[in-house]
Structure 1
Amino acid sequence: MDSRKTTQDSAEKQARKARLAEQLRANLQKRKAQARARRTGEADNRPEGIEAAKK
């Protein structure tokens, strides 16, 4: 029974880690877009994120 629980905990930790990593990437892209917009003085119309990171 303990091995089953540790497997489940491990899966939950991996899922949480992946979810947090995705949120971090999205936040970074948003901040980069904001910085570009401030630098040029206009809104940034580039697509969100990097294609390689979405795979």
Structure 2
Amino acid sequence: MSKKQTPDKGAKQSPSREDRLKSALKANLARRKAQVRAKADGLSTPKPTGTKDEG
């Protein structure tokens, strides 16, 4: 009778690859959220146009 060989090598690589992809996606999402927050903070605060009073 022949024995079924389980792809142990492939099984070990798949979860680690998925874990790497998951962590990369999570880091990318966190970076993008931080960029959006920084951009929103920059838009909400008025930039000083100068020190002279016009009028």
Structure 2 residue runs without a partner (length 5+): 1-5, 48-55
Q: TM-score by structure 1 length?
A: 0.68
Give 1 or 2: higher helix fraction.
Answer: 1
Query: Who wins on radius of gyration, i.e. which is larger?
Result: 2
Which residue pairs with 1:14 in the alignment? 19
- Which structure would you say has the larger RCO, counting Cα contacts within 8 Å and 6 or more residues apart? 1
- The percentage of aligned residue pairs carrying the same residue is 17
The Cα RMSD (Å) is 1.2
Report how many residues are paired: 42
Measure the CA separation in 1 of the matches of 2:43 and 2:37. Answer: 10
* Residue 42 (structure 2) pairs with residue 37 (structure 1): yes
